[in-house]
Amino acid sequence: MAGRVAGKVALVTGAARGQGRADAVRLAQEGADVIVVDIADTLPSVTYSSPTLADLDETANLVEKTGRRVIRVQADVRDLAKLRTGVDAAVAELGGLDIVVANAGICVPAMWDEVTEEVFDDTLGVNVRGVWNTVMVGAPHLVERGGGSIILISSAAGMKVQPFLVPYTTSKWAVRGMAKAFAAELARHNIRVNSVHPTGVNTPMAGEAIHSAFARAFERDPKLAGMMTNLLPVTSTEPADIADTVLFLASDESKYVTAHELAPDAGVTEF
């Protein structure tokens, strides 16, 4: 069914590449104009390659190829004032906001006694404070619009224990709780808030650096490796697979779904 979010405007953070790019393009394919936000810069504590302005431009180009309008915003989601300035200007240009996808996040695996303060602070800053900031700048526009959908991207690590991910797991359980808390208070404005909990996704975040970190950790404690096993016979999913779940939550097909966790997790949370 084409045009499932036709005429709507969406905000997607962490949109320069990977999951955020897939979400932005999928929503545009179904009729939404999109505000794409990304830091597009280096975060020193992250061990994998950082997104660039060229990556953000490529996402915008892919959205434009669908025939929809797009506005780029370069901002660190931890910077509330800069994020609000950029989003408010984009919303004014596009005429409103209906969908918020708080996707920006980082993941730096390490054994518990090798986690640095910098990694812990950056992970909680981006994955928790950044999500809160995104809702705080987006939700007022949805209230003004008379309703909408807010989608917080958590993880399978926000539904079960996953090893060697203390900061990440902490952050993703926080996102799960945050979705429910916002859902309770925003319901009177006809705003739905849900969280999405994928298994591993084939993005730059899940590249060689992270696989190497897990391999070293599993050598130290091999019995924990099974906790990362999917029930279905796949090792990871693709960004487009998760984007389909985001589209469902953004569309009227889920108009009575709120305060829930949707888990396109290949069954990993069942172990």
Residues marked active site are found at 168
Burial 244-253 (b: 16+ CB within 10 A, else e): ebbbbbbbee
Q: What is the per-residue DSSP string for 149-207?
A: EEEEE--GGGTS--TT-HHHHHHHHHHHHHHHHHHHHHGGGTEEEEEE--S-BSSGGGS
Helical segments of the chain, H only: 18-29, 53-65, 80-94, 117-124, 130-145, 166-186, 208-220, 239-250
For residue 12, give the 3-state DSSP assignment: strand
Q: What is the per-residue DSSP string for 75-88?
A: --TT-HHHHHHHHH
- CA 149 to CA 245: how far, in whole Å? 13
- Is residue 157 a contact partner of residue 164, using CB atoms and an 8 Å limit? no
Give the number of other Cβ atoms within 10 Å of residue 198's Cβ.
25
* Cα–Cα distances in angstroms (integers) from residue 47 to residues 105, 119, 144, 205, 238, in the given order: 13, 10, 40, 9, 21
- CA 246 to CA 264: how far, in whole Å? 10
